[in-house]
Amino acid sequence: MVLASRPIRVVLVAVVVVLAGCGGAGPVDGGGGVDEPSEPTATAAVDQANAPNGTVEVHFINVGQSVSTLVVGPTGETMLIDTGHYNDDGAYVLAYLERHDIERVDHLVVSHNDADHIGGNAAVIERFETEGDGIGAVYDPGIAASTGTYGEYLDAVEAHDVTLYETREGDTVPMEGVDVDVLGPPDPYLENEARNENSIVLKLTHGETGILFSGDAEDDQEAYLTETYGDELRSTVLKAGHHGSSSSSTEPFLDAVRPEAVVVSSAHDSRYGHPTDETLRRFADRSVPTYWTATHGDVVLISDGRGVAVRTQAAAPTAPLDLRAGDPIDPGNQSVVAGRARLGGGSDTAPPPTPTATDGGTDAPASGEMVVAGVQPDAEGDDRENLDDEYVVFENAGDATLDLTDWRVEDEAGRTYAFPDGYTLDPGETVTVRTGTGADGDGNLYWGSESPVWNNDGDTVIVHNSDNDTVLRETYD
């Protein structure tokens, strides 16, 4: 593995046990600093053969007041950018990686060494070096931090002899089938080596699509990027800098990037007020849909090289000034993602990991699309006594009505439910299929089973259309 001509350097420092995050300790203004058929698996299970240049998955994991992003390239190669907050030692990130069958992290990118971005570094390195297929290399901007979290991270690097690259502007992260260019930090560093202002900034380019990861870059680094790269910053999606802080996502920077969507990663009850009203107004002034991990949950982008499909756990508001109207979704929530939007060119949805439903069978236009919007396998209390609280929610993510006559739902054990004759599902409409017995209506249908159907510890939701084609296969853990 070659990282341009940058020398490899491990910086060992005297560690003081001070747990500090990039948000800082002050107040907000005081410098504090989809409906698609299944949650995509980050494995070779995705059929890449029919997609131009394959597909790239970008998973913004809901880790509260922190950030962690998993990228899966066209060949299954993986990149993990940051690992969450020190207060959970990477537990949310490790659980997410396990659910998605990630066995190796080829590239571990440290945007900067604040403790709320490297909180899981030591645990991730330890887990994959001892129980998985290892860590390929770590990419670090090279500015040390005097925290226990930073010391544990370096100890893990040294203990497992993991390759560590000091990473700067002009370098690249070598992922097959996709370009990952390093736009920051520059040499020399900005702002007296302030960690936020010297974040590793990455631009991922796949075909005609681009995703810009800005770390915790604030106004000075954004100004440098804008002056240096100008229109080259243009990207389909922007990961908002510094959790949506007012000191980031400046107007000149946004005008250069011109994103079609923004993703903000921060806690719903952020002590710093992230994302700030000032930042959200800048997004609103540019009519940029905004996805917030605090209300949308995990945000998954799928690029086919022509456009980007957006999937989220919750269908929360995306109008920037309405963002806080969404209900909070806790980190670690395991509900499936569903498709919400399509950005850029190409078809309405990115090539999905499993076949999608079409209205009337395989010979009909792909205008209606049945997806799983939610699964509740574990009813409150005794499952057998509360069958109506066990259910699957389906949604029509397409733009035409689905006629579900002769469509069937099936679990992994082969138990089957048939939709009522003449039952239709309009675009954007949902229907909840409950396991128990009741009167169909008001968006609820009843299986009529006398015992639980969906296994609490994992099962597969299968849907067959009227031509007996399997149009949906959704596995949950």
Residue found under tokens 């991730």:
124
Q: What residue ranges of the chain are covered by domains with CATH 3.60.15.10?
A: 28-344
For the record, the structure tokens of 395 come out as 């949604």
CATH 2.60.40.1260 region(s) of the chain?
A: 370-476
Q: What is the pLDDT of residue 382?
A: 87
Q: Nearest CA to 82 among 302, 266, 272? A: 266
Q: What is the pLDDT of residues 57-92, one digit of tens each?
A: 999 999 999 899 999 999 999 999 999 999 888 999
Which pLDDT score, from 0 to 100, does residue 4 have? 38
What CATH number matches the domain at 370-476, 3.30.360.10, 2.60.40.1260, 1.10.3720.10, 2.60.34.30? 2.60.40.1260
Nearest to 277 by CA among 11, 29, 81, 15: 29
What whole-number distance in Å separates Cα of residue 451 and Cα of residue 459?
15
Tell me what pLDDT residue 46 has: 33
Sorted by sequence, the CB contacts under 8 Å of residue 98 that are 6+ apart come out as none
Q: Token pair for residue 351?
A: 């090539």
Q: Can you give the three-state secondary structure of the chain, one letter per residue?
A: CCCCCCCECCCCCCCCCCCCCCCCCCCHHHCCCCCCCCCCCCCCCCCCCCCCCCCEEEEECCCCCCCCEEEECCCCCEEEECCCCHHHCCHHHHHHHHHCCCCCEEEEECCCCCCCCCCCHHHHHHHHHHCCCCEEEEEECCCCCCCHHHHHHHHHHHHCCCCEEECCCCCECCECCEEEEEEECCCCCCHHHCCHHHCCEEEEEECCEEEEECCCCCHHHHHHHHHHHHHHHCCCEEECHHHHCCCCCCHHHHHHHCCCEEEECCCCCCCCCCCCHHHHHHHHHCCCCEEEHHHHCCEEEEECCCEEEEEECCCCCCCHHHHHHCCCCCCCCCCCCEEEEEEECCCCCCCCCCCCCCCCCCCCCCCCCEEEEEEECCCCCCHHHCHHHCEEEEEECCCCCEECCCCEEECCCCCEEECCCCCEECCCCEEEEECCCCCCECCEEECCCCCCCCCCCCEEEEEECCCCCEEEEEEEC
d(CA 396, CA 275): 31
Please give the structure tokens belonging to residue 214.
């800005």
- pLDDT of 53 reads 56
**Which residue numbers in the chain have pLDDT < 50?**
1-52, 346-366
C-alpha distances out from residue 99 to 36, 355, 392, Å: 18, 21, 20
232: number of Cβ within 10 Å: 14
Residues 412, 466, 450, 39, Cα dihedral to 10°: 40
pTM of the predicted model, to two decimals? Answer: 0.67
Residue 185 φ/ψ, nearest 5 degrees = -85, 160
Structure confidence at residue 3 (pLDDT) = 40
Residues 203 and 183 sit within 8 Å (Cβ to Cβ): yes
Q: pLDDT at position 21, please?
A: 40
pLDDT of residue 448: 93
Burial 72-94 (b: 16+ CB within 10 A, else e): bbbebbbbbbbbbbbebbbbbbb
Q: Is 385 exposed, middle or buried (0-12, 13-18, 19+ CB in 10 A)?
A: exposed
CA–CA separation, 272 and 116 (whole Å): 13
Q: Which residues pair with 262 in a beta bridge?
A: 238, 290
Separation of alpha carbons 406 and 467, rounded Å: 8
Tell which CATH architecture fits domain 28-344. Answer: 4-Layer Sandwich (3.60)
